[in-house]
Amino acid sequence: MKPLARYAAITGYADLCASLGTDPTPLLRSVGLDPAGLGLPDRWIPAVAIARLLERSAAATRCPDFALRLVERRRFASLGPVSLVIREEPDVRSALKFLMRYQHMYNEALRLRLVEAEDVATIRVGLELGEPADTRQATELAMGVLHGLLRDFRGGRWQPLAVCFTHFAPEDTSAHLEAFGPMVKFDQEFSGIVLYTSDLDAPNAMSGPSIGPYARQFLDTIDTRPEVTPVTRVRELIELLLPTGRCSVEQVARSLGVDRRTVHRHLAEAGQNYTAVLTATRVDLAEHLVAGRRYSLTEVADLLGFSSASNFSRWFSNEFDCSPRNWRAQHRTDTAVRAGNALV
């Protein structure tokens, strides 16, 4: 299956095209995207389609800095539920690590890797689209968003030591200098951002208990998108918070920028309560993670927020009437049998 990304990755695309005198509809359809999808930011689409759309759009508008202009139209809340959680992380390092750990929640093709050596850190940015495609514009979009997030985390007029791209420089670099500052470098061995390690340990300037404008933007989407409900928002946040060990209703409420009573009220209106949503989310995740091969059972226990593998095993046995080890073994046997029958 090709890696997917959310329509939110191209937030502001139609407005940008219009400002450049170009109709976005033919461009979207040329890469197999539905123009109506722009109004559904949480809908998933092939990431390679986004990469191709950006390249064709840059060519059609004769605007080599198309992706950088798109970054200007992005908002912090475009990251979806991840944005509500990293806003609460205490320092830049923890916010960045959370962003990296859950990058699959907003873009399955994006690969962020942190490398530290003495007092210098490098955040390397890569894209794995599943098939060959030009990634210049997509890389500049990802780098622009990452640079903006780091500036939000650090606050003020922070600048990195360097912003590196593997592709060659355009004829006019003024847009890149304006977006990233004077330390932009092209034709490098990697694409990424270089900064001091002390920047990673600095307090997260966005962290705070009060609801901010970004959280308000995100919460407003509950009223504008019928497929998104308070219950689904709480479930999304539970999935993100379980591995952190901070999955209380108070933390969910803080991430949403409301008090716990508001969370309880919204869930009650939907005929739910927090404990039931938490359990149902854990059950769904456990069934998927235990059946898979990517994580050991100890890692699954950690991802589901259990203090130990033994606690997880007892909980799983109570829920499924089977130990996680036996469940995994039986699932693999069933999978092998189905594969064998398919060959007959």
Written as one letter, the residue type at 321 is: D
User: How confident is the model at residue 223, as a pLDDT?
Assistant: 40
Give me the chain's average pLDDT, please. 85
Average the pLDDT over 76-83 and give the result: 68
One-letter amino acid for residue 248 of the chain: S
The phi, psi pair for 264, rounded to 5°, reads -60, -40
**pLDDT score of 302 more than 60:** yes
Mean pLDDT over residues 185-195, rounded?
Answer: 96
Please indicate whether residue 225 or residue 49 has the higher confidence score (pLDDT).
49
Of the candidates 206, 193, 200, 262, which has an alpha carbon nearest to the alpha carbon of residue 234? 262
Query: In this predicted structure, what is the pLDDT of residue 218?
Result: 47
Burial of 246 (C-beta count, 10 Å sphere; 0-12/13-18/19+): middle
Two tokens, residue 46: 């092939």
Distance CA 56, CA 26 (A): 11
- Per-residue pLDDT of 247-301, as tens digits, reads 899 888 876 767 889 999 999 999 999 999 999 999 988 988 888 776 789 988 9
CA distances from 240 to 37, 104, 293, 296 (A): 25, 11, 20, 19
Q: What confidence tier does 336 reach under pLDDT thresholds 50, 70, 90?
A: low
**Under a CB-based contact definition with an 8 Å cutoff, are residues 166 and 177 in contact?**
no
pTM here is 0.67
- The residue ranking higher by pLDDT, 293 or 120, is 120
Counting residues of the chain whose pLDDT is more than 90, the rounded percentage is 52
Least confident of 32-36, 118-122, 161-165, 338-342: 338-342
Kindly report, residue by residue over 122-156, the tens digit of the pLDDT: 999 999 998 899 999 999 999 999 999 999 899 87
Q: At what angle do helices 274-291 and 309-320 cross, to 10 degrees?
A: 100
Does residue 342 carry a pLDDT above 60? no
pLDDT on residue 208 = 60
